[in-house]
Structure 1
Amino acid sequence: MRELKILAVVVVFTLITYWGVEPFAHSQMHPHVEPADYEFKDVDGLNGLQGNATNGAALVQANCTACHSIEKEGFPPVMDDATSAASYGVVPPDLSTAGKIYNADYLAAFIKDPAKASKVEHKFKDGRIHPMPGYSWMKPQEIADMVAYLQSIAPEKMSNKEVFVDACQRCHGIKYGDMKGGTMAAKTPNENIKAYMGKLPPDLSQYIRSRGESYLHTFVNDPQKHLEGTAMPRVGLTQDAEQQVIDYMEQVGDSKKAEREALGPKFLIYLVILAIFAWLWKAKIWRELH
């Protein structure tokens, strides 16, 4: 009977720690943030306008290809990555997949005012100018046409790695590589991206384990929710594209997750069986002593 009382005390204190102390500690170290907004309701987006891809093609080619490549449409990079980074601070993205991985309303808002849409206006003060000029002087329909064109040339399917490369590799690298051993360096050289961002962006090889999936979803969707004043821009990925980025980070940094989770129930069953045998052994010993 005394052992059962001791067990009850241990269980009670364990439950108090699990449901009382631990959640409180977590709330202090990880304050609550609002869920990710994949509709980008706070941006000045398309406002219901339907774009014309044919008109958008002419507008994009006239206004964007001086800085951006569109490899799929036969517009190669104007400069190599190092020269582009030295000129703009960061390598401009190729636009071949922009219509696939970025939310349409965010894309329209970014074309109008890049710093505002990406929530980095605090970086561009005292004469500092965002490397991409805003096109708010354009008619809303023209911007809708440009978005429609980018969507029309975007691929129907992309691998997780392809989405990661287009969404993240301009600033972030993967030092330890995926299951096939491939590593990737950030397209923007360290000295340029450090000057542009204020510090060197982290390598993302192990971020899935150090931050966790839930944190990454809200952070990628809107970094300011977690780190107010951070230089990390709001990327504007669709929910599907963001999930592909995080799936790739998991593939790289936590490739044994499925195997580990499958082992959990088996280990718990082992502990239950061990506890039963331990109890029976203890009962046998005490019977002999009494």
Structure 2
Amino acid sequence: MKNKEPLILVVVVAFTLLTYWLVEPYAHSVMHKHVESEQFAYADLKPVSKTGNVANGKDLVMGAAACTGCHSIEKEGMPAAMDAVSAAASYGVNPPDLSNAGAIYDAKFLANLIVNPAHALKVEHKFDAAKGQMHPMTAFFGAGGDIDQEVADMVAYLKSIAISPSEVTPKIAYENACGRCHALEYENWTQIGEKPAFKFEKDALAFDIQVLEYKEHLTKYMGKLPPDLSMYIRSRGEHFISTFIENPQAHLEGTAMPRVGVTADAAEKVIEHLADAGDTKRHERDSIGKSVLIYSVIFAIFALLWKKQVWKDLH
């Protein structure tokens, strides 16, 4: 009987290659297409054309703009009006504290966010004012003066109270820009903050219930619960995460995830925090790697000297 195994092998290989040829382009062009960075320039947003007045900006933020009705400013002694769960029940997500917004978010983004939140966040497909679908963040329509100047004043105030960009740690950047939607289990971070080490189990359960309630509101607001990001840096890679932060619509058109609006420096720090969470031994491994290389060089030098000593009488 003639051996048909080579023929079967050829058929299997041919179908495998055909399947790969059909699937691979789709996977890269649609499911995981390459997106170039826009360098966090936010070219579609209106630039800040005025020089801001810090004192007037503070008056607007605290007064006519009503920012403190939703946002806390802990640095200025202004606590949040509601706890995280209550805020999520009202707005879908807990509004961020504004203490360091001026250091983490791009100034142009902040200015446009104040005037037109849905446009700045790139979620106009979800919040269409013409259809009565209003974004939970109320737009600022001015306080009676030059609105461009008033917005510039508010941005100037937010920048004046923030720590310097160099003082923004990876942890601060992540928690402010991402941490109200995305948990980070490997860092013990939940959407309502870091989970404390409770003495009594009942307290831990009460905290867990709050997290579940928050997630319920967040899921309703976003359409689905945003994923835990503990391993995203390893499954997706730095380039994907950076460009997704910069413009989620470029990767996934129609997604409910808003554009975050962080500066390029803050985005790098978010990624650094994710890298630390996804690979807690990376710094230790890098240090050991350098030591191994140094050891290898020293060992090679001694081996060469020993070889010359052993063979010197035979050459």
> Which residue number in structure 1 is paired with residue 53 of structure 2?
52
What stretches of structure 2 of length at least 5 have no aligned partner?
A: 1-20, 193-210, 297-315
Q: Contact between 1:45 and 1:107, CA under 8 Å: does it hold in 2?
A: no
230, 255, 262: which one pairs with 1:205?
A: 230
Q: Contact between 2:218 and 2:225, CA under 8 Å: does it hold in 1?
A: yes
Change (3 A) 1:231 1:262: farther
Alignment of 1:1-290 (within 5 A): 27-28=28-29, 29-46=31-48, 48-62=49-63, 63-125=66-128, 126-137=131-142, 139-156=147-164, 157-177=167-187, 183-187=188-192, 189-257=214-282, 259=285
When structure 1 is superposed on structure 2, of 135-144 and 104-113 the one drifting more is 135-144
| Percent sequence identity over aligned pairs | 49
Using structure 1 for the length normalisation, give the TM-score: 0.77
Change (3 A) 1:262 1:197: same
User: How far, CA to CA, are the matches of 1:246 and 1:121 in structure 2?
Assistant: 27
User: How far, CA to CA, are the matches of 1:135 and 1:212 in structure 2?
Assistant: 37
User: How far, CA to CA, are the matches of 2:28 and 2:89 in structure 1?
Assistant: 42
User: How far, CA to CA, are the matches of 2:142 and 2:156 in structure 1?
Assistant: 19
User: How far, CA to CA, are the matches of 2:280 and 2:121 in structure 1?
Assistant: 31
Which portions of structure 1, spanning 4 or more consecutive aligned residues, are displaced by more than 3 angstroms? 23-29, 260-266
Q: Contact between 2:142 and 2:150, CA under 8 Å: does it hold in 1?
A: no
| TM-aligned CA deviation for residue 260 of structure 1 | 7.0
The one-letter amino acid paired with 1:92 is P
Using structure 2 for the length normalisation, give the TM-score: 0.71
**2:125 match: secondary structure:** helix
The one-letter amino acid paired with 2:125 is H
Q: How many residues end up aligned between the 2 structures?
A: 241
When structure 1 is superposed on structure 2, of 198-207 and 133-142 the one drifting more is 133-142
The one-letter amino acid paired with 2:137 is M
Q: Contact between 2:104 and 2:168, CA under 8 Å: does it hold in 1?
A: no
| TM-aligned CA deviation for residue 158 of structure 1 | 2.0
The one-letter amino acid paired with 2:182 is H
| TM-aligned CA deviation for residue 261 of structure 1 | 10
> 1:72-115: CA deviations, max 9, x gaps?
00101111111111111110111001000000001001101000
Change (3 A) 1:153 1:30: same
> Which residue number in structure 2 is paired with residue 288 of structure 1?
none
User: How far, CA to CA, are the matches of 1:127 and 1:142 in structure 2?
Assistant: 27
